[in-house]
Structure 1
Amino acid sequence: MTSPAPFGHIDDELCHRLITSAEMAGRRWSSGILLALARGATRFSGIVAAVDGLSDRMAAQRLRELEAAGLVERHVIPSTPVQVRYHLTQAGLELLQALQPLAAWGHRWGEAAAPGATTAAS
């Protein structure tokens, strides 16, 4: 087994930012919404349809949070009826890119790391 790469010093401010970022991305539905936007959904109904189990209420709440965090932009198109489109910001796109190694880890180890999972050594 290879040893992990050494970590550089993480000061209190960087640690706080890491925790804040992980909590935002890890909130239920947030990553699904970001992925739906990355895959081309731009309208509210398309986002809800793309994320299995996401209710309209939770979608609206998470979209407001993601917008406040600077990860999603909301564009209102003045037409009749008014149209609203959502898009990833550069920060949202970079967060998804940063999550790719975590998704790969989950693909490889996710079942073994799931709560209540048993291993051969147990």
Structure 2
Amino acid sequence: MMRVLRRDGTVCELSEDQILYITTFQKVITVHTRDGEYIFPTTFEHVQRVIESLGFAKLDRSFLVQLGKVCRYDAERRVVHFDDAPGISAPVSEPNVAKVVDYLKDKKSENP
């Protein structure tokens, strides 16, 4: 479980499974779920160290994405889309495109 802050400042807990991706902007870490956004009071580097072992990958300079939630990659827009969150996407930087494409190929071969 991860202790995060709602936008109103109240504390709540999220399981890692609820998280689609995590972003940083102006040193504020935001946790994105299917149901909303939460603030995580720590550094991006700390989050990255902890969360990468849980199946998250840095796909863009300020985006950590839970790969297990990714269902497809849009090469034209260079974004990933999520299984249980229609309309939500996250960017993929050029150096990370192969990582995403390979992951999705492996996922498809495991679940034909």
TM-score (norm 1): 0.30
Query: Which structure's residues are more often strand, by fraction?
Result: 2
TM-score (norm 2): 0.31
